[in-house]
């Protein structure tokens, strides 16, 4: 705890900016992955990332939703034929 207090109390703005950027990137990682895997639901996933970041379970669910978009469509099309 002393190490964290020392970092937060210092005037190291570069580190704090980098830390803030890392948090935002991880928070919205499902939305970024949705651009590649589930573009159809990108807007909904982006909105779901906002509250889901407060819960690891919800964030994991949004991550699964973001990455399984094309796979679900592929298997659904295969089942229909």
Structural domain spans, the chain = 2-80
Contacting residues for 69 by C-beta, under 8 A, at least 6 apart: 34, 37, 38, 39, 40, 41
What is the CA angle 61-63-67, rounded to 5?
120
pLDDT digits (tens, 9 = 90+) for 39-77: 899 999 999 999 998 999 999 999 999 998 766 666 666
- pLDDT reported for residue 70: 67
- pLDDT reported for residue 75: 66
pTM for this predicted structure: 0.72
- pLDDT reported for residue 5: 76
pLDDT digits (tens, 9 = 90+) for 26-41: 999 999 999 999 889 9
pLDDT-derived band at 4 (thresholds 50, 70, 90) equals confident
């Amino acid at each position: 705890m002393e190490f964290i207090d020392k970092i937060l109390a210092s005037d190291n703005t570069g580190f704090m900016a980098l830390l803030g950027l890392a948090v935002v990137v991880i928070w919205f990682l499902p939305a970024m992955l949705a651009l590649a895997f589930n573009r159809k639901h990108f807007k909904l996933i982006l909105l779901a990332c906002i509250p889901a970041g407060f819960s690891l379970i919800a964030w994991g669910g949004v991550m699964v939703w973001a990455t399984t978009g094309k796979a679900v469509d592929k298997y659904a099309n295969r089942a229909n034929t």
